[in-house]
Chains A and B, each alone.
Chain A
Amino acid sequence: MMSAILTVCRKEILDNSRDRRTLLTAILLGPLLGPILFVVVINFTISQASSSAERPIDVPIIGAEHAPNLVAFLASRGIAASHGHGLTSVDEAVNAVRNGEREVVVFIDASFGEELASGTGAHVGLVYDRSDTTSGQRVRRVRGSINSYSQQIGALRLLARGLDPSVVRPLIVDNFDVSTAEERSSLLLGMLTYFLLFATLMGGLYLATDTTAGERERKSLEPLLATPVPRSSLLLGKMGATVAFMLLSLALTLACFTAALRFMPFEELGMSTSFGLGTALIAFLVLAPFAPLGAALMTVVASFTKSYKEAQSYLGFVILVPTLPLIVASIMNVKPSLALMAVPSLSQHLLTINLIRAEPIEASMLSLSIVSTLLLGALLAYAAIRLYDRERILG
């Protein structure tokens, strides 16, 4: 029995490792695509966050000559009045913003100085496009700076009249951000479990198809079923080979992530991550039980299909199923609890995030996650074996 399982498992591994497509998805596509996408997204986020905060920007100011002090104040905060913008009226500014030539234009009327001096309230126009999300941060920065200037003058006027400026600021909001650097990074790194689970499933996708629907389509299933080997051994061997490829894919993906995270500038975001080799090994332990579950699930689904192509299109949906609990978890901001450890894929997600946050993992949670995932995997494997006991399996 055991030797038959090993014979089947070894044959499927040999057979599939000679298939370029299988190797490509298991060893290259899954393990590399995730980390590369991840690095690109993180770097983009980091560059966006840091650029809009500090980098000096040029903003066209129509009528800059009417408010030299305001212009100087803006310049001191990194907002320079751009020269030679050629805009002369609000209408032109509206057109320029609408066409996308400019993101934001400041308009100062000739009466600005007079209004400011008389204390009737001086107008500054701000032309922008709220539907343009990329310019949002710049607009907020210009508006914030103009408001600061306004508050500064207001405070000076109150002082000049012998009043404490705090009279007009009865409430003061104090911000206490309790998130640690690890927690802030976990929001982004939460994506990591998506990629890890996805790559694990991708690693076994072709084997699950090839060993079931592929075998039927090649007409090699009938002679195989006529060999003196119980169907349970055949199926366990096939699923064993699928699990082997999935674990290989998972290990490679973790290795790529571990290497990639080392080179990412998390400190620039005020974040830190502690994803070293030790963490990667624990992450492997956390995620590995998901492989037999995924292999059994894909085998069961592929058993219902008539051809290789049909199996692949169904499995395309199946590999999305384990991401559903993850999506719900991120929307509802679920915290790890013992009960949730009974939900496969969600438990792996929550435990991996714990690892990233460098928080300790409770042994009870880890063991419940492993046991419940393996149990569901065993149930599905049993279902797959029963499916192969049916005559209809020959198609």
Chain B
Amino acid sequence: MIEVDALSKRFGEIPALSDVSFRARDGQITGLLGPNGAGKSTCLRILSTVLQPSRGIARVGGISVSEDPLAVRRIIGTLPHGAGLYPHLTAIENIRYFGLLCGVDRPTLARRIDQLVERLDLGDVADRKAKGFSQGERTKVALARALVHEPPHLLLDEPTNGLDVMAVRQLRRWLRELAREGRCILISSHVMQEISALADDLVIIAHGKIAAKGNPSELAARYGNQDLEEIFVSAVGGERS
């Protein structure tokens, strides 16, 4: 469970998030939807404790990110924007490094890596250096890296960026599986179709504020329109934003 209450973040004079509140429930995929620069990444970075909130409270699994960031980091897996891997390390070495940093003991780690390689279909690249990986391969390895300590919460920042259609479909399938296992998944995106096919719950943010939230059918009912894209456009304030 992720709880965000009246969260605000300023970078100097510039407000990046103002008064944002929402819930992301366990066993569900919550979509954080908004145009570029809306504050999605800032929100996810606060939840992954690499940024401090200016005001408000954010809790992951009941733990405040400002009070005990280390405890929060133990129960989250993150896939930040860009999915940076270490180019001189192989896929498995990249995953193992994060497993060790998360305190997973070596026998358990070896077993989990085997499972992840099979589950995420990483067999071909497992022992290759990350240097020449395609965007899709990089994302898969980064996802495995985020899952290696079996975190109950997943924070994914635009995970489908740069992926082809097949890879996106595959990723969706995995994310649904992961949610079914009871995990709380928060995923940001600026691509409407992607979220509509995936999220149980939607939080639409624009200019650092919540524009709308609810499940897709609730939102459709409220805005009197079946098309999510239209809801998005009207929620963020028309075509010009």
Say yes or no: is B189 at the interface (Cβ < 8 Å to chain A).
no
- Report if A218-B78 is in contact (Cβ < 8 Å); known contacts: A223-B98, A226-B48: no
B contact set with A: CB distance below 8 Å = 45, 48-52, 70-71, 73-74, 76, 78-89, 93, 97-98, 100-103, 129, 142, 145-146
A358 smallest CB distance to B (angstroms): 45
A contact set with B: CB distance below 8 Å = 3-4, 7-8, 11, 14-16, 18-19, 215, 218-230, 391, 394
Contact call B84/A223, Cβ cutoff below 8 A: yes
Contact call B50/A218, Cβ cutoff below 8 A: no
Further contacts, 19 of them, CB under 8 A, given A222-B48, A228-B70, A228-B101: A7-B101, A15-B86, A18-B88, A218-B84, A218-B87, A219-B81, A219-B82, A220-B84, A221-B84, A222-B78, A222-B80, A223-B98, A223-B142, A226-B48, A226-B50, A226-B78, A227-B102, A228-B74, A228-B103
**Which residue of B has the minimal Cβ distance to A18?**
B88
Contact call B52/A391, Cβ cutoff below 8 A: yes
- Which residues of chain A come closer than 8 Å to B80, judged between CB atoms? 219, 222-223, 226
CA distance A4 to B73 in the complex (A): 14
B16 smallest CB distance to A (angstroms): 11
- Which residues of chain A come closer than 8 Å to B87, judged between CB atoms? 218
CA distance A223 to B78 in the complex (A): 6
B149 smallest CB distance to A (angstroms): 8
CA distance A221 to B83 in the complex (A): 10
B96 smallest CB distance to A (angstroms): 9
CA distance A391 to B102 in the complex (A): 21
- Which of B50, B78, B88, B145 sits near A394, CB closer than 8 Å? B50
A-B pairs with beta carbons under 8 Å apart, 7 shown? A7-B101, A16-B88, A19-B88, A218-B86, A219-B84, A227-B98, A391-B50
- Report if A7-B100 is in contact (Cβ < 8 Å); known contacts: A223-B146, A226-B48, A227-B73: yes
- Which residues of chain A come closer than 8 Å to B52, judged between CB atoms? 391
- Which residues of chain B come closer than 8 Å to A226, judged between CB atoms? 48-50, 73, 76, 78, 80
CA distance A123 to B229 in the complex (A): 107
- Which residues of chain A come closer than 8 Å to B129, judged between CB atoms? 18
Contact call A7/B97, Cβ cutoff below 8 A: yes
A-B pairs with lowest CB-CB distance, top 6: A219-B84, A220-B84, A219-B82, A18-B88, A228-B73, A222-B80
CA distance A81 to B218 in the complex (A): 111
- Which of A15, A222, A229 sits near B101, CB closer than 8 Å? A229
**Which residue of A has the minimal Cβ distance to B157?**
A222
CA distance A4 to B100 in the complex (A): 8
A395 smallest CB distance to B (angstroms): 12
Contact call B103/A11, Cβ cutoff below 8 A: no
Contact call A230/B86, Cβ cutoff below 8 A: no
- Which of A8, A230, A391 sits near B51, CB closer than 8 Å? A391
CA distance A218 to B130 in the complex (A): 12
- Which of A219, A224, A225 sits near B83, CB closer than 8 Å? A219
- Which residues of chain A come closer than 8 Å to B97, judged between CB atoms? 7, 11
- Which residues of chain A come closer than 8 Å to B78, judged between CB atoms? 222-223, 226
Contact call A223/B102, Cβ cutoff below 8 A: no
- Which residues of chain B come closer than 8 Å to A3, judged between CB atoms? 100
Most interface-central of B73, B76, B86, B101 (chain A CB within 10 A): B101
- Which residues of chain B come closer than 8 Å to A227, judged between CB atoms? 73, 98, 101-102
- Which residues of chain B come closer than 8 Å to A224, judged between CB atoms? 101
Contact call B84/A228, Cβ cutoff below 8 A: no
- Which residues of chain A come closer than 8 Å to B89, judged between CB atoms? 11, 14-15, 18
Contact call B50/A225, Cβ cutoff below 8 A: yes
CA distance A222 to B84 in the complex (A): 9
- Which residues of chain A come closer than 8 Å to B83, judged between CB atoms? 219
- Which residues of chain B come closer than 8 Å to A222, judged between CB atoms? 45, 48, 50, 78, 80-81, 84
CA distance A230 to B68 in the complex (A): 12
Contact call B48/A228, Cβ cutoff below 8 A: no
- Which residues of chain A come closer than 8 Å to B81, judged between CB atoms? 219, 222
- Which residues of chain B come closer than 8 Å to A221, judged between CB atoms? 84
**Which residue of B has the minimal Cβ distance to A20?**
B88
CA distance A11 to B98 in the complex (A): 10
CA distance A16 to B88 in the complex (A): 8
**Which residue of A has the minimal Cβ distance to B85?**
A220
